[in-house]
């Protein structure tokens, strides 16, 4: 079998014809036969077809006719596609496509097809054809690539299996001003992953002072860039370029940066405080995050709801201002800071920060100073704690306490001591602080003596004792050290009988010695005096009320006595207290009813004798008559045993 390959058959590409020649005469020249074919007919179906070929040729001087029935076997050739390399956008938004031709056209080339879509997902539209194999550029007019990215691919119509190029996206560049005083740039890449022959070097161009695009930076495969540049009056052009090793360049649209009209970032005030050296208000703030800020303006709120400028500072990092026109001791001012950039744009107003005001009030009776201040509420966390600093007689300021309220009471104030105060606010969960002005002495004073009363009560108890109780006054803690207790008996003079500590609120008077109250009616009166822990302390202390009580009369008779001269229990003398001395009578009788002793002296007892003679051991009868308070007569009788 002999095989002849035909690159073209009836205008159908991608076919190879395999012909079996049968019953051919010997010595037939196949080349002459092939080149003298008259015509071909047959049917092409599927992968294999039957084809009839008619040949006419010359063999010497003999004309030979030949009909050959051929089986045509079809097989694909290698797919070939153009390689799309660059997309370049001009000032009108038109796009120039650049590609490399396929390596092989498989013997036949018809044209290139150019496809376009405004979005990556399509649909893609055939916009044109290029019929010259060596033409490798095409400009798409009206692409609108100055407004949005455009998407393209290219295919070749040739003798090879049709294949398409990679789809590339034109570079679309966006630019804009920022509050930070820079230009934000962003763009898309041609293809991901990048085109194999691309240099991947992104070159960034900006219009210079002569109106010419000049490169300002370059980097590999980036899609964003922050240019520390702004324009105040003229618009500025930007463009992105990427070169391909094949020699073409992809260019983005021309993006126009308009003059900067964006206000700088709002100023963040750290605190408004009082300078301890000058006594003036000071304002501190953080440097603006807008890099084109050139100065700050400081405002103070006026009584009419507006703002007045009180000064300013030059330079982005000059973030401190001393208001020499302020009066922190008498006026709580509200301050605000505005940033101004190189184009004159001003930042938005903040809510402002208020200067804290501190006042002190001395309570001369309590011996306390009440410190009160306005809250600091302008920090982002919305809250603050407060440190209270106190100085005595010009000494160093010492942290006394920390509170979350806006008041504090200092107890134990002393006369003759000079006190100075200031309050420091601390931002909750933050680093910032603010201080009040320093105040010395006492701006206000008050007297609250009638607000604390010491109330005394007294109760007589059966065991010949009096129980005193009084109320607790917590405000006196630190001021009062002890309570002095005074007593009067039967309207006599008051006498100090005891002192107890401040934390005690009762006292038991055991009326000792009881003999001191034998002659009397048993009327007791008391009062209590609080005593300061330091006589120099301020404080108005109230003496308690006078509380009185009547003790029960007592007349106690022993049942035995021993007049043996040993000095113990030698005299029968009833124990009596709170008994009247007038109309007193004591009589002793023997067992036969004979009176052997009588006295009207309340202090005299029976010594166990009868008319100078020793009475014998025996039981004797006593009778007593006396009066108690109010002249009430009392009579008692009983027996007493005499033992020697």
Model pLDDT, residue 387: 97
pTM for the model: 0.51
∠556-463-469 over CA atoms, to 5°?
150
pLDDT of residue 49: 39
Same domain, 461 and 542: yes
Helix (H, G, I), strand (E, B) or coil at 456: strand
Mean pLDDT computed over every residue of the chain = 85
**Which of the residue ranges 124-133, 211-220, 365-374 would you say has the lowest mean pLDDT?**
365-374
Residue 17 pLDDT > 50: no
264 within some domain = no
CA distance 274 to 252: 57
DSSP class per residue in 230-268: --SSS-EEEEEEEEETTS-EEE---EEEPPP-PPPPPP-
The average pLDDT across 428-457 equals 78
Between these two residues, 141 and 65, which has the higher pLDDT value? 141
557-565 average pLDDT score: 92
User: Per the domain annotation, does 627 fall within a domain?
Assistant: yes
First to last CA, the chain: 176
pLDDT at 607 over 50: yes
**C-alpha dist (Å) from residue 137 to 95, 98, 114, 471, 583:** 10, 4, 10, 107, 150
Instruction: Tell which of 257, 288, 321 closes a domain.
Output: 257
Examine the domain organization and report whether 621 and 568 are in the same domain.
Answer: yes
pLDDT tens digits, one per residue of 77-97: 566 789 999 999 999 999 999
In a domain, 131, yes or no: yes
- Establish if 273 belongs to a structural domain: yes
CA distance 386 to 373: 10
What pLDDT was estimated at residue 377? 82
Note whether 521 and 569 are same-domain residues. Answer: no
- The CATH number linked to 504 is 2.60.40.10
Q: Is 441 exposed, middle or buried (0-12, 13-18, 19+ CB in 10 A)?
A: exposed
Where is mean pLDDT largest: 123-137, 169-183, 570-584?
Answer: 123-137
* Tally of domains in the chain: 7
For residue 572, pLDDT over 60 is answered with yes
| Residue 311 shares a structural domain with residue 335 | yes
Q: Do 621 and 566 lie in a common domain?
A: yes
Last residue of a domain, one of 190, 222, 257: 257
Residues 6+ apart with CB under 8 A from 616: 642
Q: Are residues 243 and 283 in the same domain?
A: no
Distance CA 107, CA 424 (A): 92
pLDDT band at 3 (very low <50, low <70, confident <90, very high): very low
Q: Does pLDDT of 275 surpass 50?
A: yes
Residue 233 has pLDDT above 50, yes or no: yes
My answer on whether 251 and 289 are in the same domain is no
| Assigned domain for 602 exists | yes
Residue 628: band (very low, low, confident or very high) from pLDDT cuts 50, 70, 90 = confident
Give the separation between CA 12 and CA 518, rounded to whole angstroms. Answer: 153
Give yes or no for a contact between 168 and 183, defined as CB atoms under 8 angstroms apart.
Answer: no
- Say what the pLDDT of residue 406 is: 95
Are 189 and 223 in contact by the 8 Å Cβ rule? The answer is yes
Beta-carbon contacts of 592 under 8 Å, excluding residues fewer than 6 positions away, are: none
Residue 331 domain-assigned? yes
Q: For residue 19, is pLDDT > 50?
A: no
pLDDT of 122 reads 93
Nearest C-alpha neighbor of 352 from the set 379, 381, 315: 379
- DSSP strands (E only) in 17-119: 37-43, 48-59, 62-73, 83-89, 95-100, 109-117
User: Structure tokens of 584?
Assistant: 């007193």
What is the structure's pLDDT at 579?
81
The whole-number pLDDT of residue 39 equals 36
Residue 190 dihedral angles phi and psi, to the nearest 5°: -60, -45
- Whether the per-residue pLDDT at 73 is higher than 50: the answer is no
pLDDT digits (tens, 9 = 90+) for 278-304: 999 999 999 998 888 999 999 999 999
- pLDDT value at residue 21: 33
Res 29: pLDDT: 36
pLDDT, average across residues 441-465 = 75
Provide the pLDDT for residue 13: 36
Question: What's the pLDDT score for residue 169?
Answer: 98
How sure is the predictor about 30, in pLDDT bands with cuts at 50, 70 and 90?
A: very low
Which of residues 155 and 181 earns the better pLDDT score? 155
Pairwise pLDDT comparison (329 vs 64), residue with the higher score: 329
pLDDT over 80 at 104, yes or no: yes
Residue 399: band (very low, low, confident or very high) from pLDDT cuts 50, 70, 90: very high
Residue with the bigger pLDDT between 190 and 579: it is 190
Asked whether the beta carbons of 524 and 548 are under 8 A apart, the reply is yes
Is residue 509 domain-resident? yes
The domain of 487 spans 449-550
Residue 263 inside a domain? The answer is no
Query: Per-residue pLDDT averaged across 538-562, rounded?
Result: 88
Strands (E), 419-546: 419-427, 433-435, 439-440, 444-446, 456-461, 465-470, 480-489, 495-501, 506-509, 523-532
Q: What is the H or E stretch that residue 177 is in?
A: strand 173-177
210 and 235 share one domain: yes
Task: Yes or no: say if 31 and 47 are a contact pair by the CB < 8 Å rule.
Answer: no
Query: CB-hemisphere CA count at 13 Å for 109?
Result: 20
Task: Among 145-159, 348-362, 465-479, name the most confident range.
Answer: 145-159
Percentage of the chain modeled with pLDDT above 90? 63
Greater model confidence, 411 or 340: 340
Q: Among 235, 257, 279, give the residue marking a domain's end.
A: 257
Q: What is the DSSP letter of 136?
A: -
Asked whether residue 462 falls in the same domain as residue 542, the answer is: yes
Q: Which of 344-348, 430-434, 590-594 has the lowest mean pLDDT?
A: 430-434
pLDDT band at residue 381 under the 50/70/90 scheme = confident
Where does 293-418 show beta strands of DSSP type E? 293-301, 307-314, 320-323, 334-341, 353-354, 358-363, 368-373, 384-392, 398-403, 407-410
Per-residue pLDDT band for 24 (boundaries 50, 70, 90) equals: very low
Indicate if 201 and 183 belong to the same structural domain. Answer: yes
């Amino acid at each position: 079998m002999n095989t002849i390959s035909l690159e073209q058959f009836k205008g159908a590409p991608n076919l190879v014809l395999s012909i079996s020649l049968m019953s051919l005469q010997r010595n037939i020249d196949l080349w002459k036969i092939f080149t003298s074919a008259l015509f071909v007919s047959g049917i092409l179906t599927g992968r294999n077809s039957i084809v009839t070929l008619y040949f006419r040729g010359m063999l010497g001087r003999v004309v030979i006719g030949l009909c050959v029935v051929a089986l045509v076997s079809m097989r694909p050739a290698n797919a070939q596609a153009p390689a799309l390399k660059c997309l370049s956008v001009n000032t009108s938004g038109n796009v120039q496509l650049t590609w490399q031709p396929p390596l092989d056209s498989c013997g036949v080339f018809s044209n290139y097809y150019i496809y376009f879509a405004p979005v990556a997902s399509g649909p893609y539209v055939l916009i044109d054809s290029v019929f010259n194999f060596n033409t490798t550029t095409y400009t798409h007019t009206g692409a609108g690539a100055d407004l949005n990215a455009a998407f393209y691919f290219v295919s070749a119509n040739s003798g090879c299996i049709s294949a398409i190029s990679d789809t590339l996206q034109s570079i679309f560049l966006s630019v804009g001003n920022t509050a930070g005083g820079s230009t934000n740039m962003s763009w898309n890449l041609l293809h991901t992953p990048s085109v194999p022959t691309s240099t991947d070097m992104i070159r960034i161009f900006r219009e210079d002072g002569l109106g010419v695009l000049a490169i300002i930076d370059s980097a590999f495969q980036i899609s964003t860039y922050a240019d520390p540049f702004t324009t105040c009056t003229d618009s500025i052009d930007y463009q992105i370029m990427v070169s391909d090793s094949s020699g073409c360049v992809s260019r983005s649209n021309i993006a126009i940066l308009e003059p900067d009209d964006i206000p700088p970032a709002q100023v963040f005030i750290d605190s408004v405080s009082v300078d301890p050296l000058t006594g003036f208000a000071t304002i501190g703030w953080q440097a603006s995050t807008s890099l084109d800020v050139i100065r700050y303006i400081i405002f103070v709120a006026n009584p009419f709801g507006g703002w007045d400028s009180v000064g300013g500072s030059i330079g982005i990092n000059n973030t401190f201002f001393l208001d020499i026109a302020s009066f922190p001791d008498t006026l709580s001012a509200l301050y605000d800071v505005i940033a101004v950039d190189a184009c004159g744009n001003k930042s938005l107003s903040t809510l402002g920060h208020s200067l804290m005001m501190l006042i002190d009030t001395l309570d001369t009776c309590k011996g306390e100073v009440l410190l009160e201040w306005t809250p600091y509420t302008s920090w982002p966390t919305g809250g603050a704690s407060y440190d209270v600093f106190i100085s005595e007689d010009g000494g160093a300021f010492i942290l006394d306490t920390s509170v979350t309220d806006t008041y504090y009471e200092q107890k134990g104030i002393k006369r003759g001591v000079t006190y100075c105060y200031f309050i420091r606010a601390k931002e909750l969960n933050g680093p910032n602080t603010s201080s009040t002005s320093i105040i010395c002495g006492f701006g206000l004073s008050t007297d609250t003596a009638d607000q604390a009363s010491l109330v005394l009560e007294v109760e007589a108890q059966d065991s010949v004792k009096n129980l005193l109780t009084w109320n607790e006054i917590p405000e006196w803690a630190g001021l009062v050290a002890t309570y002095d207790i005074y007593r009067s008996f039967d309207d006599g003079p008051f006498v100090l009988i005891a002192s107890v500590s401040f934390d005690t609120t009762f006292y038991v008077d055991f009326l000792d010695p009881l003999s001191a109250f034998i002659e009397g009616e048993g009327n007791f009166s008391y009062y209590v005096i609080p005593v300061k822990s330091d006589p120099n302390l301020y404080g108005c202390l109230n003496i308690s009320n006078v509380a009185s009580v009547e003790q029960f009369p007592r007349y106690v008779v022993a049942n035995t006595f021993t007049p043996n001269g040993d000095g113990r229990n030698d005299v029968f003398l009833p124990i009596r207290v709170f008994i009247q001395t007038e109309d007193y009578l004591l009589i002793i009788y023997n067992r036969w009813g004979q009176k052997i002793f009588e006295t009207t002296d309340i202090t005299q007892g029976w010594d166990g004798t009868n008319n100078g003679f020793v009475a014998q051991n025996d039981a004797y009868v006593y009778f007593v008559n006396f009066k108690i308070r109010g002249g009430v007569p009392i009579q008692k009788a009983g027996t007493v045993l005499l033992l020697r």
